[in-house]
Amino acid sequence: MAQLIDGKAISAAVREEIREDCEKLVRETGVRPGLAVIIVGEDPASQIYVRNKEKACQEVGFLSRTYRLAADTKQEQLEELIDELNRDKEIHGILVQLPLPDHLDGNALLLRIKPEKDVDAFHPFNVGQIMIGNYDLAPCTPAGVMVLLEKSGISVAGKRCVVVGRSNIVGKPQAMLLLHANGTVTIAHSKTKDLADLTRQAQVLVVAVRHPKLITGNMVSEGVVVIDVGMNRDEAGKLCGDVDFDSVAPKASYITPVPGGVGPMTITMLMKNTLTAARRAAKEI
């Protein structure tokens, strides 16, 4: 039976490190990390994420500002707000909560955020830096996965890593981070033929496709490390991942549960990125 990777415990430990580092930064430079979150409309899941971000900021001692805007907010208003936050010395990280209402051009908004304040690491400048391997801001979820692996003492160097999913938020950057850690990486997606053939070759398997219980026990090999990024509801309305935990766990060496695996790490890495951005700003004062 697999060892569980306890994302809650690892996240709490990393947050404590961030809280101490924040205190030190304030003491030594007078700079307190500040995060601005922009949320447009009433998407219920987004409301919960944003509240959790506020709580996390409080926990680690950051300044937190949330801009809750009406669903019919105009593109120009958002661009003006981003310009203002780009200039704001108290704010080191700017995050536009996704998804956005359809009438808004999310890409244009991402491009508007100063790359130094882009704590999601979604701006093409940061995406390029990640590709090159010269980055200190990495997208929160894939970065959180790397921390889970490290803190569990799992090295991916030289191992066959399979990432299922090719989104800009998780799959693609995850593949790059694993590659930088010297994994041999394959990306699978909805058009991949013989997915099971490929996943059976994986020594490290990261799944991020938003498809409940896609990966079943017969699709993995004995001893695989399984990281489940999925967050879905099953037929009974119960939270579940992209991995069928009950059939996969007996074959895996390590596995993340859902909930309590990758989920708690994402916001923790957002705090880490905000701290990194604030430290950089403090050096430039």
Binding site for ligand GUN (CB under 6 A): 95-98, 120, 140, 169
CA dihedral 89, 90, 92, 94 (to 10 degrees): -100
Q: Which of 21, 120, 242, 244 is catalytic?
A: 120
Residue 7 near residue 241, CB atoms below 8 Å: no
CA–CA gap between residue 13 and residue 10 (Å, rounded): 5
CB of 217 to ligand GUN, least distance (A): 29
CB of 169 to ligand GUN, least distance (A): 6
Q: Which of 53, 117, 251, 272 is catalytic?
A: 53
Task: Let me know if 97 is a catalytic residue.
Answer: yes
Rounded to an integer, what is the distance from CA 14 to the centroid of its chain? 14
Cβ-closest residue to ligand GUN? 98
Task: Let me know if 201 is a catalytic residue.
Answer: no
Question: Residue 11 or 203: which CB sits closer to ligand GUN?
Answer: 11
Question: Residue 215 or 270: which CB sits closer to ligand GUN?
Answer: 270
Task: Check the CA dihedral 202-204-207-208 and report its sign.
Answer: negative
CA–CA gap between residue 251 and residue 217 (Å, rounded): 7
CB of 96 to ligand GUN, least distance (A): 6
Q: Which of 6, 21, 97, 118 is catalytic?
A: 97
Which residues fall within 8 angstroms of residue 198, CB to CB, at 6 or more apart? 162, 186, 188, 192
CA–CA gap between residue 4 and residue 255 (Å, rounded): 5
Task: Let me know if 118 is a catalytic residue.
Answer: no
Question: Residue 10 or 109: which CB sits closer to ligand GUN?
Answer: 109
Residue 41 near residue 71, CB atoms below 8 Å: yes
CB of 151 to ligand GUN, least distance (A): 20
Question: Residue 97 or 126: which CB sits closer to ligand GUN?
Answer: 97
Residue with tokens 């809650």: 8
CB of 45 to ligand GUN, least distance (A): 8
Catalytic residues: 53, 97, 120
